[in-house]
Amino acid sequence: MITLLWMYPRHLNTYGDGGNLLALRMRCRWRGIDTVLWPVDPGDRLPRRADVVFIGGGQDRSQTVVAPALQQHRDGLEALVDDGAVVLGVCAGYQFLGHRIVQSDGSVLDGLGLLDVVTAAGAERCTGKIVVDPHPALELPATLVGFENHGGRTRLGGDPETRPLGRVVRGHGNGDDEGTEGAFRGDVFGTYLHGPVLPTNPGFCDLLIRRALNARGATTDLEPLPDGVEHDAAAAYRT
């Protein structure tokens, strides 16, 4: 069984990012793997164990609302990661995985520090289709595709264990002038890709499932699924 922890679904669910959890649940279900979805709102207690933690996107006002709650959950989330939980942060969720977010009015929101990145508001928004060549260490079978709509510019720090999720072929990504998109460290992943990213990129979804199972000592051999439609759509997206 895989426990999926959804942080602040009422506040951080921009562009249908909750569809990432639906993709995780369905791709597990089709393989006979049971899942439990555990939503967490500000003020709620965290479970003692979770296999996947998801933090979605949200606009500046929503980020300001949940930032204090996220700090209250900081120790608990760090403990879950130390216990083997896989983490996916999308857009605002990705930014919160870093050290801090400097908003357009100059205010600073503290992050979780699970990735060595910092984010600051840019002068213009990064929008449109995005195509990314994933980092070779991830051994993903295809490029990642999606769309982005964010005002933040995210820069990776000097920690060698925090690496870009990939290199931008088309689009903006982190907007760091180095052509990178997202970041990952161990089993903690952050990205600006919406779509939602996991149903659009089934190989990435399966990577998270395998890592969650591996952390629990379970088999990581996943039965292949008929992903021809998704692959054809991604190929068309890249043109």
Residue 206's contacts (CB-CB under 8 Å, 6 or more residues apart) are 27, 222
Predicted confidence at residue 148, as pLDDT, reads 96
Q: Read off the pLDDT of each residue in 95-100 and give the average, rounded to a whole number.
A: 98
Q: Read off the pLDDT of each residue in 223-234 and give the average, rounded to a whole number.
A: 91
| pLDDT tens digits along 83-94 | 999 999 999 999
DSSP 227: -
Percent of the chain with pLDDT over 70: 100
| pLDDT tens digits along 121-172 | 999 999 999 999 999 999 998 899 999 999 999 999 999 999 999 999 999 9
Q: Is 230 helix (H, G, I), strand (E, B) or coil?
A: helix
Which residues participate in catalysis according to the annotation?
91, 194
User: What value does the mean pLDDT of the chain take?
Assistant: 95
pTM (predicted TM-score)? 0.97
| pLDDT tens digits along 166-212 | 999 999 999 988 999 999 999 999 999 999 999 999 999 999 999 99
Predicted confidence at residue 142, as pLDDT, reads 87
Predicted confidence at residue 231, as pLDDT, reads 87
Residue-by-residue DSSP string for 134-192:
E-GGG--SS-EEEEEEEEEEEEE-S-TT-B-SEEEEES-TT-SSS-EE-EEETTEEEE-
C-alpha distances out from residue 215 to 10, 68, 145, 210, 218, Å: 29, 29, 27, 9, 8
The answer, yes or no, to whether residue 42 has pLDDT greater than 90, is: yes
Contact 55, 97 (CB under 8 A): yes
Q: Read off the pLDDT of each residue in 206-227 and give the average, rounded to a whole number.
A: 92
Predicted confidence at residue 237, as pLDDT, reads 79
Percent of the chain with pLDDT over 90: 87
Length of the chain: 239
Predicted confidence at residue 62, as pLDDT, reads 87
